[in-house]
Amino acid sequence: EVQLVESGGGLVQPGGSLRLSCAASGFTFSYYLMTWVRQAPGKGLEWVATIKQDGSAKYYVDSVRGRFTISRDNAKNSLYLQMNSLRAEDTAVYYCVTYSTSSRSFDYWGQGTLVTVSS
């Protein structure tokens, strides 16, 4: 059974930093592109970042480029999102998601971790 378990969310002040982690199991992690998708309270889904299987390429939405860094450790079956210079508008539930290259879709989702940026 595929499992994606996010951790690291919490309350942080504007301008602060936070590192999210995602522990993956039940599939061959190194075969998949991995993605972070977020959802602000009461709002829609927003794609944040995607990383290729070997980490050789990373893609970001404009609003986080230069502040967020996506990374992975295939030996530990783990995905990360380092978030710096956080803003109130970064407040959201952050989902760890697999991205299938064959179907070009987000096929497995974690349960999400809430990040709240507030003073």
Partner 1 sequence: DIQMTQSPSSVSASVGDRVTITCRASQGFSKWLAWYQQKPGKAPKLLIYAASSLQSGVPSRFSGSGSGTDFTLTISSLQPEDFATYYCQQANSFPLAFGGGTKVEIK
Question: Could you list the residues that contact partner 1 (CB under 8 A)?
Answer: 35, 44-47, 50, 59-62, 95, 100, 103-107, 109-112
Rounded least distance, CB 75 to partner 1, Å = 26
- For the chain, the DSSP string reads --EEEEE--EEE-TT--EEEEEEEESS-GGGSEEEEEEE-TTS-EEEEEEE-TTSS-EEE-TTTBTTEEEEEEGGGTEEEEEE-S--GGG-EEEEEEEEETTTTEEEEE---EEEEE--
Rounded least distance, CB 18 to partner 1, Å = 20
Rounded least distance, CB 77 to partner 1, Å = 19
In the bound state with partner 1, the residue whose beta carbon lies nearer, of 14 and 79, is 79
In the bound state with partner 1, the residue whose beta carbon lies nearer, of 103 and 119, is 103
